[in-house]
A and B are shown apart, each in its own frame.
Chain A
Amino acid sequence: TAGITQAPTSQILAAGRSMTLRCTQDMRHNAMYWYRQDLGLGLRLIHYSNTAGTTGKGEVPDGYSVSRANTDDFPLTLASAVPSQTSVYFCASSDGGELFFGEGSRLTVL
């Protein structure tokens, strides 16, 4: 059972470079989310999508963009990475109930 697949698992990125974190789900869930998790701050919502073709801003959207061209894919792009974007990023999906999370992508920006 795949569920939600994130890639890459881990990445080191130079400041100023762009990066896309990939997220794919096979559960046909309408809603998808991107969170970042930082020590002491918990999970914070970056962007979300209630259905294919729509996106919305979460609590910490600055410096990130998303797209939702179809039901399965929800990539997160950092146009010009900064060190404060060093974090663990989790993609999640939902059919209106609980969230199902991917395994996370650990990003380090130097």
Chain B
Amino acid sequence: GQNIDQPTEMTATEGAIVQINCTYQTSGFNGLFWYQQHAGEAPTFLSYNVLDGLEEKGRFSSFLSRSKGYSYLLLKELQMKDSASYLCAVSNDYKLSFGAGTTVTVRA
């Protein structure tokens, strides 16, 4: 099975940087995904890591260390619209298991 842990809540100021950590224990691993979910909406794909290292996509970056069972999502130049839940998900046998999500609140 999977055990995926991420913080429940984080608060940051507009224009700042926030790092959301995710640790996981899994019996198999095909990759790690990050999703964004605004309240009342469906999750939308942000990033995918299958090899160790940093993947950068605009203001969002994601890092993976497979040996440590660790990933983080870095959000730079925070905007009010970034207030949302961020879901860490591990792929095992091409089925995704999700963490409970981290609610990020961006304050002006």
**Does A associate with B in a complex?**
yes
Interface residues, chain A, with chain B CB atoms under 8 Å away: 31, 33, 35, 40-45, 48, 50, 58-59, 90, 94, 96-104
Who on chain B is nearest to A50 by CB?
B94
Q: Which of A44, A50, A99, A101 has the most CB of B within 10 A?
A: A99
Asked whether, in the complex, the Cβ of A31 is within 8 Å of the Cβ of B94, the reply is yes
Pick the interface stretch among B38-46, B54-62, B75-83.
B38-46
**Cross-chain contact A104 with B42 (CB below 8 angstroms):** yes
Interface of B is mostly: strand
Interface size range of chain B in the complex: 10 to 19
- A selection of 28 A-B contacts at a CB cut-off of 8 Å is A31-B94, A33-B95, A33-B96, A41-B100, A42-B87, A43-B43, A43-B96, A43-B98, A44-B98, A45-B96, A48-B95, A50-B94, A58-B95, A59-B97, A90-B42, A94-B94, A96-B94, A97-B48, A98-B33, A98-B48, A99-B33, A99-B43, A100-B45, A101-B42, A101-B43, A102-B42, A103-B42, A104-B42
Q: Which of B43, B97, B101 has the most CB atoms of chain A within a 10 A radius of its CB?
A: B43
Task: Find chain A residues with CB under 8 A from B97 CB.
Answer: 45, 59
- Least CB distance, B12 to chain A, in whole angstroms: 21
